[in-house]
Amino acid sequence: MSELEELGDPAAEPLSRSTRVLEAVHRARNRLLSLQTPLGWWKGELQTNVTMDAEDLLLRQFLGIRDEQVTTESARWIRSQQREDGTWATFHDGPGDLSTTAEAYTALKLAGDPADARHMRQARQFVLDSGGLERSRVFTRIWLALFGEWSWNRLPVLPPEMILLPSWCPLNIHDWGCWARQTAVPLTVVSATRPCRDLGVSVRELRSGSPAPQAERLPSWVGAFHHLDRVLHAYERLPAKPLRRLSLRKAEQWILDRQEADGSWGGIQPPWVYSVLALHLLGYSPHHQVLQRALSGLEGFVIRERGDQGWVRRLEACQSPVWDTALALTALLDTGTPPDAPEVLRAVDWLLSQEVRKSGDWTVRRPGLRPSGWAFEFANDTYPDIDDTAEVVLALRRVRHPDPSEVAQAIHRASRWVQGMQCIDGGWAAFDADNTRTLCEKLPFCDFGAVIDPPSADVTAHVLEMLAMLGDTGSAQVRQAVRWLLEHQEPAGSWFGRWGANHVYGIGAVVPALVAAGLPTSHEALRAAVRWLGEHQNPDGGWGEDLRSYRDPDWIGRGESTASQTAWALLALLATGERGQPLLRGVDWLVATQRADGSWDEPQFTGTGFPGDFYINYHLYRLVFPISALARFLEANDAQQP
């Protein structure tokens, strides 16, 4: 009888907790190794929502390249994600979302679904009950305006002249977060050209007829920008605009200069598709080499698989090989895998090959800093990110490479770059330094997603942990980071999680970092975090936090238990030396819910793109974080043995 069978046999002699955990780690490690590619990297699916697929069909319709196979397979996927109530959500088991449902409905109608079909009637009724297209986000209405289904006159103006603003001027493009500026610049071209092409169908039945929301009154900034938008609309009606031609040329070159080797812009969907639209509107045909690279690159983000009704096609919003590989490498090393094992060295060599050695937009705020770091994606040399770089360094410092100097030099370059990207307040953001001007958030255009990149607790924590592990615990930068984290602790004891869901993620990142930096485990901030975890543990022993916590405080720390969030809680408890029932119950929950293949089920989304708006299910999270948590539990147990 196998040990797996013995675990499920009530008549068998019960295995000790340590044995069960060891077996679980062994199964999970084998599963993780089976997912490594021959080149050494890992990449789990990055699952988001069906707006990616709806907008892909609309893009192809606009360019005149939509074909029947892509349409049929994409429509199958979109239909498969519709819920019983006729809506589409932005995350698993989340509430129906107006804009997502409107875009899905539009795509399905484009694909030939009749408006009187039951699933279409349900979706339409939800849209109308929610206020109709009039209440949808700006991005949704931009897509409809491209086809004459919404008036450009009823959209905020985003003038291309903004690209001429110098970096010291408010609302210049570098005041936007990197993902927002890469989206805003091409959208200025779209806004200026105001195209209208044939959709082939109409979705005017999604309009409720409700009036536009009243603009806020002066003297608020929001009110001021709504009045400014009226002025800009008047400007757009002028027959001559002295700076328009120059600004369009500048925007065109700005976009061209930032196309990545894989054809993308930033390796993410929004700037990618809007850059394609902008260049096409400036005269680039779909057969031009720039757009050919862009469209071919998009195909690399497509996942095709056979579903119940036939082949389905879905598009990833982004891909995360560097992030996944760094986390997977850390998980492997946590299991006791030799630091010079072949699978470890393959991962290290691939990571070393991905170091970014050229300057990007971040140099506007840090002009004298030598480039280094790692990006999230396969190809994104313009925007390396601090979070990925910290995690890569944390993994690299533990390996034993045949050329140790190569690894040491990469770590040195990367750590110097990260240190140079510290914000003036002592924290770290994801992509830029001191990207904290909030004025652009007040623009009528900015009704969806984060548009600036301020410091966050999770990124700051990962950098702090990296610096501490490199032995830099006494520096002024480390002291500033510790102070920043302590100042940003929530009153109840948690930390806001910017890039993961949500307060559980914040605690899972911050607590190990503070301990690594030398904060005593008796410190009140750490004790408060431990209490918070105990108070928010589920009856089944796991932890979970629903993404509604970003908008509704009643959901903070509440949600169905998930493998990744339970692992984050355990990593925090282990770092503080906790060995009581909350820890043991969490460990037992992970062991009991492990699948036979070594992984865990996790349909819930536990990653965050834009808090409150856009969420991610990282398919590798359900494996790498539980491995690290369980392996570190075993290590702590071994350390306690006499």
Going by C-alpha positions, the residue among 628, 579, 568 that lies closest to residue 395 is 628
Express each pLDDT in 131-161 by its tens digit: 999 999 999 999 999 999 999 999 999 999 9
- Does the fold of domain 49-207+216-315 match that of domain 17-46+318-421+456-637? yes
Q: What is the mean pLDDT of residues 318-323?
A: 98
Across the range 386-398, mean pLDDT stands at 98
Buried b (16+ CB within 10 A) or exposed e, 574-592: bbbebeeebbbbbbbbbbe
Maximum C-alpha span of the chain = 86
pTM (two decimals): 0.95
pLDDT of 216 reads 66
Burial class (CB in 10 A: 0-12, 13-18, 19+), 226: buried
Average pLDDT for residues 405-411, to the nearest whole number?
A: 98
Confidence of residue 538 (pLDDT cuts 50, 70, 90): very high
Selecting from 3.40.50.620, 1.50.10.20, 1.10.3720.10, 3.40.50.720, what CATH number does the domain 49-207+216-315 have?
Answer: 1.50.10.20
Q: Say yes or no to pLDDT of 285 above 50.
A: yes
476 pLDDT band (50/70/90 cuts)?
A: very high
Q: Which has the higher per-residue pLDDT, 214 or 169?
A: 169
Token pair for 547: 């993404």
Q: Report the CATH number of the 17-46+318-421+456-637 domain.
A: 1.50.10.20
Query: What is residue 211's three-state secondary structure?
Result: coil
Q: Which of 599, 31, 45, 39 is nearest to 343 (CA)?
A: 39
pLDDT score recorded for residue 228: 85
The whole-number average pLDDT for the span 314-337 is: 98
How many angstroms separate the CA atoms of 546 and 636, rounded? 30
Whether pLDDT at 408 is above 70 = yes
Residue of 56, 113, 229, 387 marked active site: 387
pLDDT score at 417: 98
Q: Three-class SS of residue 617?
A: strand
Does residue 361 carry a pLDDT above 90? yes
Would you state the pLDDT for residue 15?
84
- Cβ of 5: how many Cβ atoms within 10 Å? 9
Give pLDDT tens digits for 71-83.
Answer: 999 999 999 999 9
Q: Is the pLDDT of residue 65 over 60?
A: yes
Mean pLDDT of 231-240: 90
pLDDT band for 5, please (50, 70, 90 cuts): very low
**Which of 78-92, 208-222, 281-295, 507-521 is predicted least confidently?**
208-222
Q: Which two tokens stand for residue 490?
A: 């929530």
Q: What is the pLDDT of residue 223?
A: 79
Give me the pLDDT at residue 443, please.
87
pLDDT of 1 above 60: no
- Percent of the chain surpassing pLDDT 90: 90
Domain boundaries, the chain: 17-46+318-421+456-637, 49-207+216-315
Q: Is 387 one of the catalytic residues?
A: yes
Q: Average pLDDT of 319-336? A: 98
Confidence (pLDDT) at 218: 66
Which range has the worst mean pLDDT, 35-44, 203-212, 416-425, 512-521? 203-212
C-alpha dihedral (560, 455, 532, 528), degrees to nearest 10: 170
Residue with tokens 């959500």: 89
Nearest to 252 by CA among 179, 148, 160, 317: 160
- Residue 3 confidence (pLDDT) above 90: no
For 159, 349, 412, 526, 614, the CA distances from 345, given in Å and listed in that order, are: 50, 6, 19, 36, 35
Lowest mean pLDDT among 24-38, 167-181, 441-455: 441-455
- Compare 542 and 15 and report the one with higher pLDDT: 542
> Encoding tokens for residue 225?
């920008």
One-letter identity of residue 86: G
